[in-house]
């Protein structure tokens, strides 16, 4: 499965798609990137006259690249199509520095385990300077649709 195919299968669309590229992916992890468009709506109010990317959006970016993209890849390796939902089951993220409008970030995820369609990963986000922005562990369940 190619990176473009994985991005197409993500259950998100703009303005809530936070994956531009998947640079590498295998059964142990994934590396991808996203650039935060300064025109994204949440920047208008977070914070007045000094916008930064909300932590919940950074967490979502980590989840989309590091958890959901990897889960779709792992399911395809088991010859299972992903046609359902992803439910976040746990997050533990530490934030170290802000991400400003227009910044590009890189996300690196390492699989901790994948069993019974539950995936848990250790995920790190860095800015282009190589500074760690945030890191943590995220887990989610891949749930098949009732008709699939």
122-131 own/partner pairs: CB under 8 Å, 24+ apart: 123/62, 123/66, 123/67, 125/58, 125/61, 125/62, 127/97, 127/99, 127/103, 128/103, 128/104, 131/96, 131/97
Q: Kindly report the number of other CB atoms within 10 A of residue 35's CB atom.
A: 14
Angle (nearest 5°) at CA 74 between 123 and 28: 45
Would residue 46 show up in a list of annotated catalytic residues for this protein?
Answer: yes
* Catalytic residue, candidates 46, 97, 118, 144: 46
Beta bridge partners of 64: none
Integer angstrom CA distances of residue 74 from 43, 51, 62: 34, 36, 17
Catalytic residue annotation: 46
């Amino acid at each position: 499965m190619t990176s473009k195919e994985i991005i197409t299968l993500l259950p998100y669309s703009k303005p809530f798609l936070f994956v531009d590229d998947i640079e590498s992916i295998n059964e142990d992890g994934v590396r991808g990137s996203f650039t935060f468009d300064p025109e994204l709506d949440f920047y208008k109010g977070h914070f007045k006259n000094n916008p930064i990317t909300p932590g919940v959006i950074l967490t979502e970016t980590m989840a989309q690249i590091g958890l959901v993209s990897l889960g779709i890849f792992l399911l395809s390796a088991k010859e299972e199509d992903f046609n359902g939902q992803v439910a976040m089951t746990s997050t533990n993220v530490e934030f170290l520095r802000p991400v400003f409008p227009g910044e590009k970030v890189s996300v690196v995820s390492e699989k901790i385990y994948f069993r019974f369609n539950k995936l848990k990963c250790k995920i790190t986000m860095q800015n282009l300077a190589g500074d760690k922005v945030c890191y943590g562990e995220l887990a989610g369940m891949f749930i098949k649709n009732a008709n699939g």
